[in-house]
């Protein structure tokens, strides 16, 4: 631990014929991906065995195509959060025996302590052992490596919705947040596609970047936020919702954008000015999708001029929500939002 520390020893054996032994299927949360990254295609050959997921599914009688399989032996347990919904089935690879208690504690803390957990030790070996219990009853239990857990999720915890525009309550914020309906419109305009990268400029609470990542596991994102307190809040929101792969940069655009991974899509949620807009139009690659939201008259005028010069679509959105009006109810209007979306 970490596994990568052993790579120099392995690679030093070139060009001798060498065998590296690893359990299970090396290209499903296994050693193969790490090793192959350092070798040419003709330098290696893999002979896979049954994966831990296959062995666990065979013991549980679960169809793998409808079971979420997660390799958390070297990743935080918070990556489970998007999967936690009553009725879901998960097979989770764990770092060691102590991680079983950590998993049980995490499920309990998220109000899924009623989940049925089967702890599978040394699958496929002579000391194979299965232990079944509720998550809340395993917090103080001890197990030995190698180990994984099969979880049937149950309890009163909140399930994270699948559609973009999740409720604002999922995100800790100080008022600077793209609200749920506007966030849904914004994600629709950004139109995430597999393997794409997003710049979220002026992250606020990080809700746009986080929801972008929730759309598909191959997506990546960088959030740029000048306020250090908000940047820390974005980091905490992303980690809590299992999106720890969100990169958070504390700094102001456009200076903070130099050297970042080139984006396929860019969102500017606030603070758009002529300098930043000119930089984006001149610096971003052709084909990059740009979406900007504005509330103030000054930003609205800037977006109208940008659409006239660069093309794209302009959308003006006025939202009202029912609320108390004396003893009755009435519509409480929010500030209108102007959204410009364009493919440069």
Q: What is the pLDDT of residue 139?
A: 87
C-alpha–C-alpha distance, residues 223 and 239, integer Å: 14
Does the pTM surpass 0.85? The reply is yes
Q: What is the pLDDT of residue 8?
A: 94
In order of 74, 193, 231, 240, 287, the CA distances from 272 in angstroms are: 39, 25, 18, 29, 20
Which alpha helices (H) appear in 166-294, and where do they start and end? 180-190, 207-214, 228-240, 274-283
In order of 78, 139, 226, 238, 260, the CA distances from 206 in angstroms are: 17, 32, 12, 7, 18
C-alpha–C-alpha distance, residues 88 and 167, integer Å: 21
User: What is the full per-residue pLDDT of the chain (344 aa) written as tens digits?
Assistant: 678 889 999 999 999 999 999 888 999 988 898 899 999 988 999 999 999 999 999 999 999 999 999 999 889 999 999 999 999 999 999 999 999 999 999 999 999 999 999 999 999 999 999 999 999 999 888 899 899 999 999 999 999 999 999 999 999 999 888 999 999 999 999 999 999 999 999 999 999 999 999 999 999 999 999 999 999 999 999 999 999 999 999 999 999 999 999 999 999 987 799 999 999 999 999 999 999 999 999 999 999 999 999 999 999 999 999 999 999 999 999 899 999 999 99
Q: What is the pLDDT of residue 77?
A: 97
Quickly count: other Cβ atoms within 10 Å of residue 84's Cβ: 23
Contacts of 92 (CB under 8 A, 6+ apart): 70, 72, 80, 103, 148, 149, 150, 151
Q: What is the pLDDT of residue 140?
A: 86
Comparing CA positions, the residue from 261, 283, 149, 286 lying closest to residue 195 is: 261
C-alpha–C-alpha distance, residues 158 and 150, integer Å: 20
Domains and CATH numbers, the chain: 3-43 (no CATH), 53-152 (3.30.950.10), 168-343 (3.40.50.150)
Q: What is the pLDDT of residue 269?
A: 87
Contacts of 184 (CB under 8 A, 6+ apart): 163, 164, 165
Please tell me the total number of residues recorded for the chain in this structure: 344
């Amino acid at each position: 631990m970490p596994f990568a520390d052993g790579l120099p020893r392995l690679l030093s054996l070139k060009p001798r014929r060498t065998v590296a032994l690893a359990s299970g299927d090396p290209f499903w949360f296994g050693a193969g991906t790490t090793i192959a990254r350092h070798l040419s295609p003709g330098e290696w050959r893999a002979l896979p065995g049954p994966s831990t997921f296959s062995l666990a599914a065979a013991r549980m009688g679960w169809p793998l195509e409808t079971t979420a399989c997660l390799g958390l032996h070297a990743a935080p347990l918070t990556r489970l959060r998007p999967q936690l919904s009553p009725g879901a089935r998960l097979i989770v690879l764990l770092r060691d025996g102590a991680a079983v208690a950590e998993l049980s504690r995490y499920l309990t803390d998220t109000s899924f302590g009623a989940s049925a957990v089967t702890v599978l030790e040394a699958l496929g070996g002579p000391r194979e052992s299965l232990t079944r219990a509720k998550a809340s009853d395993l917090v103080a239990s001890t197990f030995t490596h190698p180990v994984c857990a099969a979880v049937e999720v149950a309890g009163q915890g909140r399930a994270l919705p699948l559609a973009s525009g999740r409720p604002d309550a999922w995100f800790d914020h100080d008022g600077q947040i793209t609200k749920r309906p506007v966030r849904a419109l914004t994600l629709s305009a950004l139109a995430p596609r597999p393997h794409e990268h997003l710049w979220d400029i002026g992250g606020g609470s990080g809700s746009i970047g986080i929801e972008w990542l929730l759309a598909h596991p191959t997506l990546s994102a960088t959030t740029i936020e000048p306020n250090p307190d908000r940047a820390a809040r974005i980091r905490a929101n992303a980690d809590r919702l299992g999106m720890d792969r969100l990169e958070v940069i504390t700094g102001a655009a456009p200076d903070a954008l130099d050297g970042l991974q080139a984006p396929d899509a860019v969102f500017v949620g606030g603070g758009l000015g002529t300098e930043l807009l000119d930089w984006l139009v001149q610096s971003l690659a052709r084909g990059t999708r740009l979406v900007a939201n504005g509330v103030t008259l000054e930003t609205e005028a800037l977006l109208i001029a940008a659409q006239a010069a660069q093309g794209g679509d302009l959308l003006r959105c006025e939202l009202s929500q029912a609320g108390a009006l004396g003893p009755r109810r009435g519509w409480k209007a929010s500030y209108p939002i102007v959204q410009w979306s364009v493919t440069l």
